[in-house]
Amino acid sequence: MEKKLLQTGRARAIQGDVSNEDQIISAVERTVTEFGGLDVLVNNAGIDVEGPAVEMTSSVWDRTLEVNLKGAFLCSKHAIPRMRGRGGAIVNISSVRAFVSYEGNAPYDASKAGMIGLTRALALEHGRDGIRVNAVCPGYIDTPMMDAWLRAQADPSATLRQVLSVHPLGRMGTPRDIAEAVLFLASDAASFISGTFLVVDGAMSAAGH
């Protein structure tokens, strides 16, 4: 039987651009005002643009890095001062693509590798503030982004079969798989874990894919 999520607490959606510093400042301040503090930050914004690096425009490269990496930096920069004195946890969503690259994804792969470096640096700088910083590295996850990528392939069904074949567990991950990993790293169960990353890919990278 599937576990039921606890239906407690309140949530507030704030639409914004993570590469826009003024909007990040506003979102952090609104959160602190409405909820009385800030304990957990999950940096999960990301975009992916495919194509050969030598044919990619500077604007496409810049936009990918702005959202995927600069956005995590800006959110952390403005959340950390609000976490000081109360502890806290930051979880950055990187990717297995930080370690294994494929043709045609240079900006995405670079941004996700940068997330690992950012994670380590922030963990060192703010450990004495009681703030832990870790990363989750998902593999193939069944999301709308994944659906769009499959539809763009010449033979989506064959591509899906190939994707499933490289997973020893025999399936793609789900958003809940990633959420559970984030929840663990943000919780007191991970109170002595900081400056590292958790790969959540169904053993795909262990199999050499």
Q: In one letter, which amino acid is 30?
A: R
The rounded distance, in Å, linking the Cα atoms of 56 and 204 is 29
pLDDT at 1: 35
Residue 2 pLDDT class (50, 70, 90 cuts): very low
For 168-181, give the DSSP string: TTSS-B-HHHHHHH
pLDDT in tens, 3-61: 444 556 788 899 999 999 999 999 999 999 999 999 999 999 999 888 999 999 999 99
Could you give the 3-state DSSP secondary structure of residue 44?
Answer: coil
Catalytic position from the list 73, 108, 140, 197? 108
- Does 108 participate in catalysis according to the annotation? yes
pTM score of the predicted model: 0.90
Domains of the chain, start order: 21-207 (3.40.50.720)
Instruction: Render pLDDT for 125-150 as a digit per residue (tens, 0 to 9).
Output: 999 999 999 999 999 999 988 999 89
